[in-house]
Chain A
């Protein structure tokens, strides 16, 4: 029987355009782009050239410091281009899909009998290692370390995110294989955070159920409530959505397909779809976006942590959602500071939608406007209401802002990832870019400490 942890703090943003629980087929990816920026903390060393033929599973780039960490092509075809930006930074490696699906041969590994080293090299060679992140810093895990524990979150509570129970259907064996493999890599335990009532049954892992609004599914929150990270300790985190892909690789299959939700108020029929990481949003959303006169915003990921990628942008390596919402940049709304606010989404009681609780009961179409000017922090206490961890978010934010390393450590910087501050950023009346500040702080701190 899994133990249950109830969380009261947090917020489910009730957006219109939630995915129906059905799988629709989308256009196959004619090309995919692997974006090194998805893998925070690693510097890419590209090993292919434009024009080179690759099979699915062939290495496109490796990590400069840890060449054993490989990033592989999800499709077979030809490398079209290595896109570079300022100072020759690699922005993406584009592979044109030949549709043949030829792939490299991977040995099948039985996680129950294989040793930790065998599992490690299998994961590294299959290119699924980068799914594992380490805390502190929320970067791709260092294979040389043995983590204290491994935390797997089997729930995505972000707005319009997929239901894990639906995604895992038919892939239970892959999930179990992945979990068993992870269990070999730590001296501690594999903890799996699952939605309350999901009755997820897994061997070689301890399932802990979580009830409550977003960010209950964020792995940091789960760690904080199960077994918090202390300075000097290292834990690994993986999303169960990605463990499925890892499980496939261990069975000898090169298959990076992920089931995501295609959702948002601008999507004609929001549903689940199987896509490849690096596939363009245009190919996924082909013919499924409302024809309107205003500008729309294509987001790779969910509305809290995703990126405004544009139509030609691609699904990230870790994304579970593709969202399309109105952009709002061409909207002029009169007297926002005094209108009653019945039709303006607000969790704050300064508007009627907040006062009457309509933000919970109604479905909302939100655009991407900040809806206010950036200011210094004025209102206090709102961040804490959406931050269900034993951490003072505002104090930690200020410590990061002033780059006071001692304070950052003391206040729990090693326990958090930028995504944990997404709701703080959402509710903040001063429109503070909290996630960016935390992300920059983590990068800077890692440089200093390592």
Chain B
């Protein structure tokens, strides 16, 4: 980077956005683009720590986004694969991926434009920096909704979530519930028809707008029902169902959730970089496994433990949703309890609430709600220890 360009930015461009400048009200927007390019020049003040670790929230969030990439790629391919299967054709993995990607693209554009638009407006109003949190949320949203969700629904739900689940609490870092899951929950309760059933997870029309493709028709006997829907209506057979399909991700479902293998690849990145808590991730899987074993012991035709962990959004929730540090437990002991709670609840809701095939989303939201309570009791133990010391 040449010095001339730097000087031009700092002397000619920046002042326009600073107080008294022409575009003062757009300072937040300018800042978000500038800090995207350059590490901020701001230095430590007179007092306080004079040097800092180079990690910042941008770097943390970007790791989450990178970790989502494997699930995104496999998920897009699977959208095309399911499409081909429904129509009884096979045009190769690349065309299948392309089909899925084209189906996915408008959704992510809508989610980013709506969400970031609101975030930037709020930041400009508050004259604060634009927080990065939505970069992850905005990618998560199109990944966890059925492929046939209309774009306007995504827009409405994203706006609702960013405003009412995040900004009214004070923005990134202050929210109680995971904004991506709130979007999903909003869609589920506001537009239940568009969120469940056999038709929503497999797109049979054209990639971009689902208009019927001339000369094609859905093959007889094809069902786009997800395995969990089969579990809910009792038609699931653990012996004939291929766990491998669920692990690789060649079953109907949202983009994010189908491929457990890809999710685990992302999990690896999150664990190696320590962006996600291994305590939470491990205990969600442990809680889920234990509860699945209990369920399998007491009911016929229940999925096996391995099937339970591969099906639906369980693995995705364990790796990406439960580990959100803002809405989860913040104490180390609390993280174990929080994770187990989510794992157990996800399986319970999935198996015993027949009106509601996917329990993982609800379990994480429920976990978000009780996380402060869990932390409260963990910290209370420390408080009691201190109180006892006085008496002793």
Is the pair B325, A380 in contact by a Cβ cutoff of 8 Å? yes
- Residue B48 interfacial (CB < 8 Å): yes
Please give the distance in Å from B107's CB to the nearest CB on chain A: 24
Pick the most buried of B41, B54, B170: most chain A CB atoms within 10 A of its CB: B54
Chain B's closest residue to A410 (CB) is B383
Contacts of A327 in B (CB 8 A): 43
Q: How far is the CA of A334 from the CA of B59 in the complex (A)?
A: 13
Beta-carbon contact of A435 and B41 below 8 Å:
no
Check if B131 is an interface residue, CB within 8 A of chain A.
yes
Assess the B379–A411 pair: CB atoms within 8 A.
Answer: yes
Bound complex: CA of A434 vs CA of B1, how far in Å?
34
One of A50-58, A109-117, A369-377 at the interface: A369-377
Q: How far, in angstroms, from A268 to B53 measured CA to CA in the complex?
A: 25
Contact A230 B389 (CB under 8 A): yes
In the complex, A179 has a CB within 8 A of chain B: no
A-B contact count (CB 8 A): 223
Q: In the complex, are the beta carbons of A378 and B51 less than 8 A apart? A: no
Q: Which residue of A lies closest to B131 (CB)?
A: A375
Q: Which residues 359-415 in A have Cβ within 8 Å of B in the complex?
A: 366-381, 384, 390-392, 394-395, 410-412
Q: How far is the CB of B279 from chain A (nearest CB, A)?
A: 9
CB neighbours of A344 from chain B (8 A): 54
Please determine whether A348 and B387 come into contact, CB atoms closer than 8 angstroms: no
CA distance A36 to B383 in the complex (A): 36
Q: Which of B3-56 contact A (CB under 8 A)?
A: 6, 31, 35-56
- State whether A429 touches B56 (Cβ < 8 A): yes
Question: A349 CA to B45 CA in the complex, in Å?
Answer: 27
**In contact, A346 and B53 (Cβ under 8 angstroms):** yes
Is the CB–CB distance between A351 and B386 below 8 Å?
no
Select A333's contact among B36, B38, B133, B326, beta carbons within 8 Å.
B38
Is A306 among interface residues, defined by CB-CB distance under 8 A?
yes
User: CB-CB contacts of B304-333 with A at 8 A, as 1s and 0s?
Assistant: 000000000000000000000110101110
Partner of B50, one of A297, A333, A375, A427: A297
On whether the beta carbons of B52 and A431 are closer than 8 Å, the reply is yes
Taking CB atoms, residues of chain B closer than 8 Å to A305 are 49
With A351-B54, A376-B174, A411-B382 as contacts: A334 and B38 at CB distance below 8 Å: yes
Of B231-239, B250-258, B270-278, the one with at least 4 CB within 8 A of chain A: B270-278
Closest to B279 in A: A381
Min CB distance B136 to A, Å, is: 11
Stretch at the interface among A128-136, A142-150, A254-262, A335-343: A335-343
Assembled-state Cα–Cα distance A299/B43 (Å): 13
Let me know if B48 and A436 touch, CB within 8 A: yes
Across the interface, B49 reaches (CB within 8 A) one of A228, A412, A425, namely: A425
Contacting residues, chain B, for A13 (C-beta < 8 A): 51
Contact of B57 with A375 in the complex, beta carbons under 8 Å: yes
A345 is an interface residue with CB less than 8 A from chain B: yes
Chain A residues, Cβ within 8 Å of B274: 348-350
**Closest CB in chain B relative to A88 CB, distance in Å:** 21
Inter-chain CA distance A350–B54, complex, in Å, is 10
Question: In the bound complex, what is the Cα–Cα distance between A327 and B57 (angstroms)?
Answer: 22
A433 near B6 with CB under 8 A, answer no
Please report the C-alpha to C-alpha distance between residue A333 and residue B35 in the assembled complex, in whole angstroms.
10
Contact across chains for A336 and B59 when beta carbons are under 8 A apart? yes
B102-142: CB near A (< 8 Å → 1, else 0) gives 00000000000000000000000000010101000000000
Query: Are the CB atoms of A380 and B58 closer together than 8 Å?
Result: no
Q: Encode contact with A along B355-385: 1 for CB under 8 Å, 0 otherwise.
A: 0000000000000000000010001001101
Query: In the complex, which of the residues B43, B272, B335, B382 contacts A355, with contact meaning CB atoms closer than 8 Å?
Result: B272
Provide the residues of chain A in CB contact with B243, threshold 8 Å.
none
B52/A426 in contact, CB under 8 A: yes
A332 contacts partner chain B, Cβ-Cβ < 8 Å: yes
Cβ of B129 and Cβ of A392 under 8 Å apart? Answer: no
Task: Tell whether, in the assembled complex, residue B170 and residue A376 are in contact, meaning their CB atoms are under 8 Å apart.
Answer: yes
- Asked if A369 and B42 make an inter-chain contact with CB atoms under 8 angstroms apart, the answer reads yes
Cβ–Cβ < 8 Å partners of A303 in chain B: 49-51
A48 at the interface (CB under 8 A from B): no
B182 to chain A, nearest CB (A): 18
- Contact A331-B386, Cβ < 8 Å, known A337-B58, A337-B62, A346-B55: no
Report if A426-B49 is in contact (Cβ < 8 Å); known contacts: A372-B57, A378-B326: yes
Q: Determine if A231 is an interface residue (Cβ-Cβ < 8 Å).
A: yes
Closest residue of B by beta carbon distance from A230: B390
Does chain B have a CB within 8 A of A357?
Answer: no
Given A228-B389, A373-B129, verify A430-B52 contact (CB < 8 Å).
Answer: no
Cβ of A286 within 8 Å of any chain B Cβ, yes or no, is no
Cβ–Cβ contact A369 & B40, under 8 A:
yes
Say yes or no: A391 contacts B43, CB within 8 Å. Answer: no
Residues of chain A within 8 A (CB-CB) of B46 are 307-309
Q: Can you show 13 pairs from A to B with CB atoms below 8 A apart?
A: A303-B51, A323-B50, A329-B41, A337-B36, A337-B56, A348-B60, A348-B274, A350-B55, A350-B60, A355-B272, A375-B129, A392-B382, A428-B53
Extra contacts, 18 of them, besides A378-B60, A410-B386, A426-B52 (Cβ < 8 A), are A228-B386, A232-B390, A328-B43, A334-B1, A336-B54, A341-B54, A346-B55, A354-B55, A371-B54, A371-B55, A372-B54, A376-B171, A376-B174, A378-B172, A392-B382, A395-B331, A425-B48, A431-B56
- The residues of A with any CB-CB pair to B shorter than 8 Å are 13, 15, 228, 230-232, 297, 299, 303-309, 323, 325, 327-338, 341, 344-351, 354-355, 366-381, 384, 390-392, 394-395, 410-412, 422, 425-431, 433, 435-436
